[in-house]
Amino acid sequence: MEGLEKQSIWEQMKEIVMFTGPATGLWLCGPLMSLIDTAVIGQGSSLELAALGPGTVICDYTSYVFMFLSIATSNLVATSLARQDKKEVQHQISILLFVGLTCGFLMLLLTKLFGPWALTAFAGPKNLDILPAANTYVQIRALAWPTVLVGWVAQSASLGMKDSWGPLKALAVASAVNGIGDIVLCIFFRLWHCWGSMGNNGITSRCCLYDDRKH
């Protein structure tokens, strides 16, 4: 608090902009990667493009259940850092990473068991022709659940440390891999069901974890 009192209003505004600018980019990377997926898939397969709708809804909407991991991580890390207790920060991050990994494997299991049923209930009996492709997409993304939730914890830990550039760099790399992977797998190899979500989330989580270790 003493440091903030000594700063002028312009210095505080500059610090806020320097943090919120990259943080805003974090929320833009997800829709950008989805847009790339949709654009590439739509170039070659209308059936796969139609299947992308229910598959994406099932995966994205269930992920909102675990937003508590991001909120809890950033709040706990920021509070501990304010008390200048680095050991507590490391302990909390370790626990939350374990919780995220456990929830990820639980979601992987639930998706394997109930994914087809959820898609059938969502798409309806008149759209049975898109269910095989949609289920393939959901099952591929299910493999990424552990890395998704671990990545969320690592990203939120960086934000709690007031580092928004590290996660942004990780997501920028993931977005590039997403675009290249879509083009190579879908256009050249005609593997329309092999979207880049799993690889992207793995890269993101590993980059964020590496960045957290540097702190």
Per-residue pLDDT at 197:
52
- Is the pLDDT reported for residue 187 higher than 50? yes
Q: How far apart are CA 147 and CA 102, in angstroms?
A: 11
Where does the chain have alpha helices with state H?
Answer: 2-6, 9-44, 46-63, 67-82, 86-123, 131-142, 145-160, 165-182, 197-214
Between 34 and 165, the more confident residue is: 165
Per-residue pLDDT at 190:
60
Q: What confidence tens digit (pLDDT) does each residue in 192-209 have?
A: 555 445 545 544 444 555
Contacts of 100 (CB under 8 A, 6+ apart): 66, 69, 146, 149, 150, 152, 153
Per-residue pLDDT at 23:
82
Between 197 and 168, the more confident residue is: 168
Per-residue pLDDT at 91:
92
Per-residue pLDDT at 202:
47
Confidence grade of residue 133 (pLDDT, cut at 50, 70, 90): confident
Q: Quick one: residue 34, left, alpha or beta (phi over 0 = left, psi -120 to 50 = alpha)?
A: alpha
Confidence grade of residue 1 (pLDDT, cut at 50, 70, 90): very low
Most confident range, picked from 8-17, 21-30, 64-73, 122-131 = 64-73
Tell me what the mean pLDDT of segment 19-23 comes to.
83
Q: What confidence tens digit (pLDDT) does each residue in 74-130 have?
A: 999 999 998 888 889 999 999 999 999 999 999 999 999 999 999 999 888 888 888
Exposed / middle / buried, residue 58 (Cβ in 10 Å: 0-12, 13-18, 19+): buried
Torsion of CA 27, 32, 34, 35, to 10 degrees: 150
Q: What confidence tens digit (pLDDT) does each residue in 31-86 have?
A: 777 777 777 777 767 787 888 888 888 888 898 999 999 999 999 999 999 888 88
**Domain map (residue ranges) of the chain:** 28-214
Confidence grade of residue 10 (pLDDT, cut at 50, 70, 90): confident
Between 212 and 189, the more confident residue is: 189
